[in-house]
Structure 1
Amino acid sequence: MISKKYISKIIALSLIMFASVLVGCSDDSTKSNTTSDSDNSGGQLKVALESQPNTLDPLMSSAVVRARVAQNIFESLVTLNSDFEPTPMLAESIEQSEDGLTYTFHLRKGVNFHNGKEMTAEDVLASMNRWAEKSTQALAYFEGITFEMEDDYTVIMKLKEKYKDILVFLAERDDSSIMPKEVIESEETTGVTEYIGTGPFKFDDWKQDQYIKLSKFEDYTQSDLPTDGLSGKKEALVDDLYFYFVTDTSTRLMGLKTGEYDIVNFLPEDNYEELKSDPNINTLISYKGAIEISFNKKEGLFSDFKMREAVNTAVDAEMIMKSTYPDEDLYKLNPGYINDQIVNWYVDAGKEKYNQGDPEKARELLEEAGYDGEEITVLSTRDYDYNYNTAVILQQQLEEAGMNVKIEIYDWSSLLDLQHDPGVWDISILGPDYKTSPPQMLALDPKWPGWTDDPKITDLKDKIRTAETQEQAKAHWETLQEFLWTEYLPISRVGDYAVIVGTTDKVEGFKVFDSPGGYIFWNTKVSE
């Protein structure tokens, strides 16, 4: 049960920014086929993913494709409901102190890990300490955070400073997933060596470049809360859950049409109308994130703001989005760093610097920067059509402005690894998922590839997270976004994109939830 204290304090203090967030979210953000029943479970559910993750360890990768798989294995203390509110998952109830600096998590009892061990506070303590020590965002925003064990089923979190949406942060990000203490103690430099969690599916097998196989966890301990977004009751309605890595878009499309795959992600935009009219296919679209041109600000050409400004001035965002997405249902031009549906945070400050498409002015800025034809390396991948298409059109736009541009193509997993080496790239094309508040955006993280590091940004982020009211926080965010567009440019924002997901008509209960990972494979079955 959720304690009254949790309802009155946590929701009142931590969730105020969600009161008017995502207008119509309950209707639009969780899309599904039909409601599943558990009386006909079993068999296999075969999912075609667009790329292969480099790991399933939530702390070792922020890739969405990793989260799609890992969220079935791992669970956290809190998760998001359909209104994007933090809701207890492995916690049964949560209490907050009057000063907002102490949170007490009362754990659910009888929750088993996939290795048969019961989850207790010592596992939560080990997991949360690992998160506090290794998560780039935890290190950036929660310096001095500590965790302690009160008893076998109680963990206390203490903050150095009040952070009004700490539970939102923990719920949205899965890098604070709970694992057995012994798994964490035996981890290597590349992460944990065993994928053991408390989720409805357990890790079974990984055939490199082919598939990841999960299997039903027979001893899964369900939450007493009703199913709601990513929270509440979860039930594995298939025996085996396969994630196939199918990098070719046409192959994914054909696999859906023939029934080789039950669910396919990132279907080709050019086939959108055809898919909608096919009676054997259920077509879902979901706005998942934004296309961004990320700059390496740590070293090289784009450590100079003038060079970043030149690129941003040359970018014709509308041309890029129209060339990539033939149907207006599938993209939005948007100067805001935050999704425009998140009304408590959305601002358009700095919009005059967005979508300029002015190669002549860009040439002038290049001259001011002293650019002398040096080669500019752009990292891209063919695993995502939007990524490659953006790179090609960007290359044309930058060359028109007088820049010497080379595109280097990698598989998505390799690109993610290469991003961490500032010596091998200048620009990287990214499509990060939406964040529900500014401090969570990776583009503003000084430790994330791109290396955004500026005292004014740090100061304004601190003011945002410690503001007494949402109005004050939003005012600080408006000031920060203006600064980002006009004086810093950590990225050049292109636009918001939708993902096309298709299922065969035999799939029941599958839902798309607009959050990281966000595809709900539990409570989903395949009829005969």
Structure 2
Amino acid sequence: MAATSALSLPALAAEPVRGGIIDVATIGEPPTLDPMASTADLVGIVSQHIFETLYTFGADWSVVPLLAESLPEVGEDGRVYTIKLRQGITFHDGSTMDSADVLASLKRWQSVASRGQQAAKIIASIEAPDASTIRIALTEPYAPLLSLLAFNNAAAVVLPEENMAAPMEKVVGTGPYRLKERKPDQYIQLARFENYRPREDASNGYGGARHQYLDEIRFVPVPDPNTRVEGAVAGQFAYVDSIPVESVGRLSSGKSEAVTLKPFGWPVFIMNTKEGLMSDVAKRRAVLTALNPEDMLIAGFGTADFYAVDGALYPEGYGWHTQEGTSAYGIGDPEKAAEALKAAGYDGTTSLRILTSRQYEFHYKMAEVAAEYLKLAGFPVQLDVVDWATLTQRRQDPKLWDIYITHSPFLPEPSLIGVMQDTSPGWWTSPAKTEALKAFNSEADPARRAALFAGVQKVFYDEVPAFKVGDFNAVAAKLPALEGVTPAPWPYFWNASLAK
């Protein structure tokens, strides 16, 4: 009887209502809709509805197939990946996907995307032996390959073979929603792609079946965080991304409810190791010594309910967690930093330029606190406050900044972390980094990889390419009528629906 009851429950569950249009408030206008060309989360949030990758991540952060039929066949001691493609997949322009499209897309990815450039170093060849197969040969075993192919920024999305121009000329993918209209600084309007073919397996995180219950999704840039909060309180938007944590109490008196992702990730100050003040590792170490992470986190998040002071790149509970190197974190001693700067030959005349934005309000608040500590250490500080789209453009030019502020979710594969890529803004390269990452990335056994990651984190703290401030929880808001939205680092709205 119990078994019969359990089996009958799915049949009794009401099918979500089909139809409706939602407005989603984002922190600003994405600088591009080409997911290969940007690592900005804002680009990934929008573009993941339009474009798809061969693989993606399931609810437990394991790699699962999306446009690939299944996980690859791996041979020759981990150096050859044979990938079978799903059949009957249609692009938004009406053409049918085959291996020629995938082959051209992966080659564009190696050229255009920072993560593709990272992978290109160990890719010997990519071939399409037939219309439904892709074969990737590596120069050496490389454990992060599938995670790189699955990730949704600097993403290995599949485009029509005829649409390889860079910059992208046509926004055409295979995703559940197609681009209907874009009015810069007003909205990006997506409409259901009627010829979309979802996977037959159950919805599973970003993977599995992607149901198109909503008719349209409109992403609306709302750069001012207070305006986003007031829009959430008034019920102006179905979903509001990135709510300042101090505003959570305001939601209780309004029409929206808080959506919390705990833990979400880490705020990070990226150092320009290529040019300027921060190209000197001694000065980077002085910055690490000067900064007080707890004061910065209090300024950014207000209460310990939303943050943790933690120097480990992954918190406890993650398989990658290690304390290696973290004794250098959290010192918060400007006087000691000043002594280190003097020993490094710094005369205090060159300004330290910090690039930040107020669209993520916690970035700006942490920058203000950091600036005061760094002034006490002897740096004249120049705080350059710009909109997020401008920041993502300026960080590409090493002549324009010394530190820029961003944040990252805790990613399922450490090699996906931006600073681990030689070509990511910050441009951290060194023999020690190369050696530690090579050992880590060439090992397939998860337990051995976890042990080797301690060596990667040690080099991170030895060379200070970035300053991890701590851990934090992310808060968004949604209308109670919006159903089927699972808290996620990059919120997605396939499987979402509006209640009657």
Q: TM-score, normalised by structure 1?
A: 0.88
Query: 1:193-223: per-residue Cα shift (whole Å, max 9, x none)?
Result: 1111111100111111111111111111010
Correspondence for 1:526: 498
Correspondence for 2:310: 334
Correspondence for 1:312: 288
Query: 1:277-319: per-residue Cα shift (whole Å, max 9, x none)?
Result: 4584331111332111111111111111111111111100000
The correspondence of residues 278-357 of structure 1 with structure 2, limited to 5 A, is 278=253, 280-286=255-261, 287-343=263-319, 345-357=320-332
Distance 1:279 1:391, change over 3 A: closer
Correspondence for 1:158: 137
Partner AA of 2:77 in structure 1:
D
Give unmatched runs, 5+ long, in structure 2: 1-11
The correspondence of residues 82-231 of structure 1 with structure 2, limited to 5 A, is 82-93=59-70, 94-145=72-123, 146-174=125-153, 175-184=155-164, 187-188=165-166, 191-231=167-207
Judge which range, 285-294 or 209-218, deviates more. 285-294
Note the C-alpha offset of 1:140: 2.8
Correspondence for 1:399: 375
Q: Distance in 1 between matches of 2:117 and 2:16?
A: 46
Distance 1:404 1:37, change over 3 A: farther
Q: Distance in 2 between matches of 1:474 and 1:109?
A: 37
Query: 1:40-85: per-residue Cα shift (whole Å, max 9, x none)?
Result: 2212111000121100111110000110000001111111111111
Corresponding position: 1:45 with 2:22: yes
Q: Distance in 2 between matches of 1:224 and 1:243?
A: 28
Q: Which of 225, 237, 245 is 2:213 aligned to?
A: 237
**Contact kept? 2:272, 2:403, Cα under 8 Å:** yes
Determine helix, strand or coil for the equivalent of 1:139: helix
Q: Distance in 2 between matches of 1:392 and 1:317?
A: 12
Corresponding position: 1:368 with 2:343: yes
**Contact kept? 1:36, 1:525, Cα under 8 Å:** no
Query: 1:224-258: per-residue Cα shift (whole Å, max 9, x none)?
Result: 11101011111221211000000111211111122
Distance 1:39 1:348, change over 3 A: closer
**Contact kept? 2:234, 2:254, Cα under 8 Å:** no
Give unmatched runs, 5+ long, in structure 1: 1-34
Judge which range, 94-103 or 369-378, deviates more. 94-103
**Contact kept? 1:334, 1:340, Cα under 8 Å:** no
Note the C-alpha offset of 1:438: 2.6
Correspondence for 1:62: 39
Corresponding position: 1:79 with 2:59: no
Give percent identity, aligned residues only.
31
Note the C-alpha offset of 1:273: 3.5
Determine helix, strand or coil for the equivalent of 2:217: strand
Determine helix, strand or coil for the equivalent of 2:191: strand
Q: Distance in 2 between matches of 1:235 and 1:390?
A: 39
Q: Distance in 1 between matches of 2:231 and 2:143?
A: 46
Runs of 4+ in 1 over 3 A off after TM superposition: 35-39, 277-280
Corresponding position: 1:389 with 2:365: yes
**Contact kept? 1:36, 1:509, Cα under 8 Å:** no
Query: 1:441-471: per-residue Cα shift (whole Å, max 9, x none)?
Result: 2112221111101011101100001125333
Distance 1:38 1:122, change over 3 A: farther
Q: Distance in 1 between matches of 2:14 and 2:142?
A: 40
Correspondence for 1:444: 420
The correspondence of residues 253-272 of structure 1 with structure 2, limited to 5 A, is 253-272=229-248
Determine helix, strand or coil for the equivalent of 1:170: helix
Determine helix, strand or coil for the equivalent of 2:473: strand
**Contact kept? 2:147, 2:416, Cα under 8 Å:** no
Distance 1:232 1:496, change over 3 A: same
